[in-house]
Amino acid sequence: MAPKTAKQLEKAREDKKVCILEAALKVFASHGYDGASISMIAREAKISKGLLYTYYESKEHLLEQLMIWGLERAGSTTNVEAGYRIGSEEEFMYGLKMIIAMVQQEADFWRLYNMVVMQPKMADRFKDKAKSFLEDYLQVYVQYFEDKKVPDPMAEAIMFGAVIDGILFDMLMVGETEYPLERVLEVVRRKFA
């Protein structure tokens, strides 16, 4: 049952690390970083506290890895990359819906992300990690608004970013089932697309 080769061993370690990250995400998201305890996370991951420490050297380190992992997943889920170019209104709306779907799916991560960035001391430690993700994003939309010849494409893109952040924030806050997403997206289309 136990993996034999070095490769299998490495794979098993990776799987366990992900399993721990998932447990940590669940617990951090519902109790906050400080409100969560290592015991809770270990219990959620169905391993002992001691073992957890062989994968992540401290609670702080675990949070850090969790943020990296979440942002990476966010980056790879949305197909926005540095070179990507939005070609049509349809593509614009499709991309928007993708982002929202991704946040809905990873609601725990984004709730945690929001909590973390609101704490200046914590935010500083993760700013770099979010930066490239956000900048790629912004650039794609600056390009889109330039193509549309709006007066101040950068400001337009920043404001569009605020729209997304605001919608997501409100949805995470009130619960997605109660939010009239379709109607709001229709307004977004009228204003931006």
Partner DNA sequence: TATGAATGAGATTTCATTCAT
Partner DNA sequence: AATGAATGAAATCTCATTCAT
Q: What is the DSSP string of 51-111?
A: HHHHH-SSHHHHHHHHHHHHHHHHHHHS---TT----SHHHHHHHHHHHHHHHHHTHHHHH
Binding a copy of itself (rule: CB under 8 A), the pick from 19, 47, 142, 154 is 154
| Positions in 21-60 near DNA (CB under 7 A) | 36-39, 47-51, 53-54, 57-60
Q: Any residues with CB less than 8 A from the CB of 48 and at least 6 apart, and which?
A: 42
Min dist. Cβ of residue 77 to a copy of itself (A): 21
Angle at 162 between CA 85 and CA 79, to 5 degrees: 30
Min dist. Cβ of residue 168 to a copy of itself (A): 8
Q: Is 79 in the site for DNA (CB under 7 A)?
A: no
User: Would you say 19 or 122 has its CB closer to a copy of itself?
Assistant: 122
Residue from 59, 63, 76 nearest 112 by CA: 63
Q: Is 99 in the site for a copy of itself (CB under 8 A)?
A: no
Residue 25 token pair: 């995400």
Q: Is 12 in the site for a copy of itself (CB under 8 A)?
A: no
User: Would you say 18 or 58 has its CB closer to a copy of itself?
Assistant: 58
Cα separation, 65 vs 39, in Å, equals 18
Task: Give contact residues for a copy of itself (rule: CB under 8 A).
Answer: 30-35, 111-112, 114-115, 117-121, 123, 151-152, 154-156, 158-159, 161-167, 169-170, 172-173, 180, 183-184, 186-188, 190-192
